[in-house]
Homo-oligomer: A and B are copies of this chain.
Amino acid sequence: MGMWIGRNRKARVTYGFDEIALVPGRVTINPNEVDTTFRIPRRNAEPLELKIPILASAMDGVVDVRFAVAMSKLGGLAVLNLEGVQTRYKNPQEVLQKVVEADKSEVTSLLQRIYQEPVQPQLIAARIRQIKDGGAVAAVSSIPQRAQEFGAIAQEAGADVFVVQSTVSTVRHISSEYQSLDLEKFCREMRIPVIVGNTVGYDVTFEIMECGPAAVLIGVGPGAACTSRGVLGLGVPQVTATVDCAAARDAYFKKTARYVPIITDGGMSRGGDVCKALACGADAVMVGSAFAKADEAPGSGYHWGMATPHANLPRGTRIKVGTTGSLKQILFGPAEVDDGSQNLVGAITTCMGNVGARDLAEFQQTEIIIAPSIKTEGKLFQAVQSVGMGTK
């Protein structure tokens, strides 16, 4: 396993979504009859059941209160970022408007300024209550350094799920400047499910699972607005990352009989990418840019990474994704565009039907092939005319 990249040194070959394809099954199933339920385990309660295995990313161009309510009602789950504009500003709308209107050359420094405003604890509680008042499941996220503080507030305010998220998560973080989060203790003491991320490796995922989270987020750097892979050279393509972490989940389950779902996060903009992630072993996916296109998204068709506002080393950019339809249309169709970015759930069920998978567990067993030509074979006209699979 691995190729020589030079004298005495080998490297594994890893794969991304565009390099693989899924193989049709020997049995096919009517897509209306497949089951896409995703369950987030809870310690002292029935699992939280989502009808569709899709989460919306904790990004400011994607999720605000209104979006979170809409997403929950449609069967998915949106995560509100506790360190974004929603908890720094009482009226985030005008701040968002500035981001949208900023020129390409000044947007990085504008974001740096905007995110220097401190987070207001009372806004955390307020946003969560607004989501709950909307009749929705409330999921919120923070970085590890603030998890202790924000976690307590969020739980108190009625949040249903808490996400601890950083670019690279491990159980062992070394610092003498500040105290690292004790993940095991944190998961044990929180009464609501804790989702932890992001990670990409077998060993780290296994170690994180030993700390007791409800689920783990998979992916370093694939996001549409993220530049970590260019700025830091860091990351593992999502196919290999998902397969590796699925193996960790299965090994952990074999050892403990506790099933900790993994959620592939980032790099999926079309139905085909989502299908591939699930077939690689993900229990659910977390999607950002695809939802930034929704009428309901607060970014008005713009999208940016949470590492973009970093004061010193921004690792993201603002991209324009456009507004293409309602969230309902993006999730369930009818698709009015031809590029696979609408009706994501229809894509999942149709693909499940074609590979003969009755539920997500069977979908995870789909035969995968390495097929880089899948992107281009026969598609010259689509590429040249920017339609269908060639849409830009």
- The residues of A with any CB-CB pair to B shorter than 8 Å are 1, 3-9, 11-30, 32-33, 104, 108-109, 112, 167-168, 170, 172-178, 199-204, 207, 220-227, 229-244, 246-248, 266-276, 279-281, 289, 303, 308, 311-314, 316-321, 332-340, 343, 346-347, 350-351, 354-356, 367-371, 373-382, 384-385, 387-389, 392
Q: In chain B, what residue has the closest Cβ to A21?
A: B235
Query: Are B346 and A382 interface neighbours, CB within 8 A?
Result: no
Which residues of B sit under 8 angstroms from A27, Cβ to Cβ?
Answer: 170, 172-174
Which residues of B sit under 8 angstroms from A308, Cβ to Cβ?
Answer: 338
Further pairs besides A7-B202, A24-B235, A227-B338: 10, Cβ < 8 Å: A26-B207, A33-B176, A221-B374, A222-B378, A230-B388, A232-B354, A233-B351, A235-B371, A237-B371, A269-B378
> Given A108-B338, A335-B314, A347-B231 in contact, is the A373-B15 Cβ separation under 8 Å?
yes
- Complex Cα distance, B29 from A197, in Å, reads 16
For the complex of A and B, 10 pairs with smallest distance between CB atoms: A6-B243, A16-B373, A317-B388, A233-B272, A30-B175, A267-B378, A7-B247, A231-B340, A16-B377, A230-B389
Query: Are B173 and A30 interface neighbours, CB within 8 A?
Result: yes
* Interface of chain A, main secondary structure: mixed
Kindly identify which residue among B30, B178, B312, B354 contacts A335, using a CB–CB cutoff of 8 Å: B312
Query: Are A382 and B11 interface neighbours, CB within 8 A?
Result: no
- Complex Cα distance, B267 from A90, in Å, reads 47
Q: In chain B, what residue has the closest Cβ to A144?
A: B28
> Given A26-B201, A231-B271 in contact, is the A266-B378 Cβ separation under 8 Å?
yes
Query: Are A234 and B22 interface neighbours, CB within 8 A?
Result: yes
Which residues of B sit under 8 angstroms from A376, Cβ to Cβ?
Answer: 16, 18
Query: Are A23 and B320 interface neighbours, CB within 8 A?
Result: no
Q: In chain B, what residue has the closest Cβ to A374?
A: B229
Some 12 contacts from A to B, beta carbons below 8 A apart, are A4-B13, A11-B370, A21-B233, A26-B204, A27-B172, A27-B173, A28-B168, A230-B270, A231-B270, A232-B272, A313-B343, A319-B382
- Complex Cα distance, B231 from A101, in Å, reads 32
